[in-house]
Amino acid sequence: MFIAAAIAIIIAMALILIRGILGPTIYDRILAVNLFGTKAMLLIAVLGFLDGRPEFLDIALVYALINFIATIAIMKFWGVTDISQPSKSDPLGDI
């Protein structure tokens, strides 16, 4: 069962790479980088269970934190709009 999950994650990572390369906007590419990091974290966890080494979950969690910080840094580097402020079209922005 874990082997099938690992194969499915690898296929998803290949599709995400295609979206990252072909993505027409920077938002598509940023999302692809974030998704690739998430799938890599899942793959590390699944491979840890396949190998019988549950300590890989710790590595996967650290990788998830690094992926989150890197995504925010990439968004700031490419000049994506201020992510800390709600947009003006956001109906919940006044709360």
- 92: phi then psi, degrees, rounded to nearest 5: -95, 5
Of all residues in the chain, the percent with pLDDT exceeding 70 is 83
Q: Find the mean pLDDT for residues 65-69.
A: 91
Mean pLDDT value across residues 11-23 = 91
Q: What is the pLDDT of residue 61?
A: 92
Among residues 62, 44, 58, the alpha carbon closest in space to that of 2 is found at: 44
Give me the mean pLDDT over the 12-19 stretch.
93
**pLDDT at 90 (0 to 100):** 46
Q: Is the dihedral of CA 17, 18, 22, 26 positive or negative?
A: negative
- 78 pLDDT higher than 60: yes
| Percentage of residues in the chain having pLDDT higher than 90 | 45
Domain residue ranges of the chain, discontinuous segments joined by +:
2-77
